[in-house]
Each structure stands twice: as structure tokens, then as C-alpha cells.
């Protein structure tokens, strides 16, 4: 199974948890002049990863954060695709039931907000499913 890997820096070591910062740079990876510009699309992402051997890591250490590709695709499905489907489907169903567009639009926003509330309330269970692997770089 394919893996999604990112290089990151351990920002903080807590008991049983690492805080890892990853700098994500969009199109700059293949650019020939990336060293002389200040890319505006660079984004820092912070991951809090529960790990049994957190004491083996130290702040400032470079690590490789890995997750399976299937779980990455599931995350995209849950956070982007499914909310759009819920929004559109609920709007068209409410419109087909004879509600005017304003009420159908508001109802579809409420349905989408309810989905995100359910997602938020089940975040601890989801965090167990989305397990990351952290490995050290050898010096």
C-alpha cells in the first residue's frame, strides 16, 4: 500500500505526544529559482501525533511523518467531498419538496453544519483511525 510522507520538525515533546510542524510548499518543489524567492503559498501545518515512544524524540529534530494513502483519501472524502454532497443534496431535496430557495439554502447550510458538528463530536474516535507513523532521520 502506498504511503504519504512529509518531512517535519518536532516543535514540542509532550508526554505520549509529539507536536510536529510541516511546511507545505505548493508548486515550488519543481521550480528552478525556488531558493531566491519568498513563496507566498508556503503554509505551516501543525500535527499533534500520539506516540508511545515520544520521549525518544527531542524538539528541533527532523522526522518523517507517514500515513497510508487510503487514510489520506478518506480524510479528503470526510472533510471536502461529503460536505459538498450533503449541501447540494439537501438543497435539491428541500427545493423538490416545495420550499422556496432561501429556506432550502438555509436548510442545506444547517444540514452541513450538523454534519460538521457530528464530525467534531466523533473526533477522538477518528483520531484513533488516522494513525500516523513518525520515524527519525539517521544522522
Residue 33 domain-assigned? no
Q: What range defines the domain where residue 52 resides? A: 3-26+38-136
Q: Do the bridges between strand 3-14 and strand 62-68 make them parallel or antiparallel, or are there none, so unpaired?
A: antiparallel
CB 99 within 8 A of CB 108: no
Residue 93 domain-assigned? yes
Compute the distance between CA of residue 64 and CA of residue 117 in angstroms, rounded to an integer.
32
Residue 87 domain-assigned? yes
Compute the distance between CA of residue 96 and CA of residue 98 in angstroms, rounded to an integer.
5
Residue 32 domain-assigned? no
pTM equals 0.62
pLDDT tens figures, 91-133? 999 999 999 999 999 999 999 999 999 999 998 887 777 777 7
CB 70 within 8 A of CB 15: no
Residue 95 domain-assigned? yes
Residue 31 domain-assigned? no
- How many domains does the structure of the chain reveal? 1
- Show the cell assigned to 22: 510541516
Amino acid at each position: 500500500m502506498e504511503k504519504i510522507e512529509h518531512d517535519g520538525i518536532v516543535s514540542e515533546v509532550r508526554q505520549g505526544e509529539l507536536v510536529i510542524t510541516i511546511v507545505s510548499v505548493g508548486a515550488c518543489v519543481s521550480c528552478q529559482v525556488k531558493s531566491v524567492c519568498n513563496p507566498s503559498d508556503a503554509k505551516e501545518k501543525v500535527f499533534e501525533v500520539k506516540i508511545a515512544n515520544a520521549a525518544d524524540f527531542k524538539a528541533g529534530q527532523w522526522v518523517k511523518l507517514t500515513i497510508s494513502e487510503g487514510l489520506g483519501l478518506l480524510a479528503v472524502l470526510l472533510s471536502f467531498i461529503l460536505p459538498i454532497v450533503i449541501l447540494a443534496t439537501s438543497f435539491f431535496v428541500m427545493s423538490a419538496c416545495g420550499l422556496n430557495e432561501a429556506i432550502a439554502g438555509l436548510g442545506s447550510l444547517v444540514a452541513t453544519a450538523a454534519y460538521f458538528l457530528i464530525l467534531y463530536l466523533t473526533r477522538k474516535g477518528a483520531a484513533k483511525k488516522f494513525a500516523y507513523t513518525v520515524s527519525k532521520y539517521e544522522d
